[in-house]
């Protein structure tokens, strides 16, 4: 059997183009070996770019940036952009900014757009999509906001809440056909893309 034929049958390396511990934990659920590589991508929104389009563009850019460095690998890129009143919300970084975000979100419905892209430079494979989760927060007074932030300190989370943790207590409802998207990586859509790329999953 030719060596080239054997090489084509061997599974490609899988890379998560992200250093997010949330995405790493989610991808680990698939029980596939993978490594993580930090994508060097400018995340500044373009003039007039919607949060939906921003999440899609950045997911593609991250996957393609890492795929360029590792052309034989299959690379997953992802980016999440929360939206309220048509405007994106960033990671708060501080207690004060998280307080401001939760005050703004209190009692309101908003969208979390999570873009995902799977790319392989060697084969030219590229698929990308956005999964949107609609979230409605219950009405929060300052005391509730303070209790939550002191307990979980979600300052590295866009939207200032961890739905996979205590943050679920802040919600009245969430609607999505791919619920892990809210945590940072839509696993149902990711699995579909990986299967299309030839990855064997259960």
| Contacts by residues 55-58 (CB-CB < 8 Å, ≥ 24 positions apart) | 55/79, 55/80, 55/81, 55/113, 55/114, 55/115, 55/130, 56/113, 56/115, 56/128, 56/129, 56/130, 57/115, 58/115
Residues 6+ apart with CB under 8 A from 107: 137, 138, 139, 140
Residues 6+ apart with CB under 8 A from 74: 12, 13, 14, 15, 118, 119, 120, 125, 194, 197, 199
What is the sign of the dihedral through the CA atoms of 149, 113, 122 and 197? positive
| Structure-token match 């979390």, residue found | 112
What is the sign of the dihedral through the CA atoms of 81, 87, 90 and 95? negative
**Do residues 156 and 150 lie in contact, with contact meaning Cβ atoms separated by under 8 Å?**
no
Active site residues: 79
């Amino acid at each position: 059997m030719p060596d080239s034929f054997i090489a084509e049958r061997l599974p490609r390396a899988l890379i998560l183009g992200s250093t997010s511990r949330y995405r790493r934990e989610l991808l680990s659920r698939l029980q596939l070996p993978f490594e993580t590589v930090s994508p060097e991508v400018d995340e500044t929104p373009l003039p007039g770019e919607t949060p939906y389009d921003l999440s899609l563009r950045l997911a593609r850019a991250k996957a393609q940036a890492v795929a360029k460095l590792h052309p034989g690998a299959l690379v997953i890129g992802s980016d999440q952009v929360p939206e309220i009143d048509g405007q994106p919300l960033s990671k708060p970084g501080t207690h004060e900014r998280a307080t401001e975000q939760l005050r703004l979100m209190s009692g309101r419905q908003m969208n979390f757009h999570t873009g995902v892209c799977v790319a392989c430079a060697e084969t030219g494979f590229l698929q990308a999509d956005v999964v949107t989760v609609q979230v409605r927060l219950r009405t929060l007074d300052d005391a509730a906001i303070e209790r939550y932030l002191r307990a979980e300190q979600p300052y590295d989370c866009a939207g200032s809440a961890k739905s996979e943790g205590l943050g679920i207590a802040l919600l009245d409802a969430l609607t999505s056909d791919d619920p892990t998207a809210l945590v940072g990586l839509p696993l149902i859509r990711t699995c579909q893309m990986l299967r299309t790329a030839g990855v064997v999953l259960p």
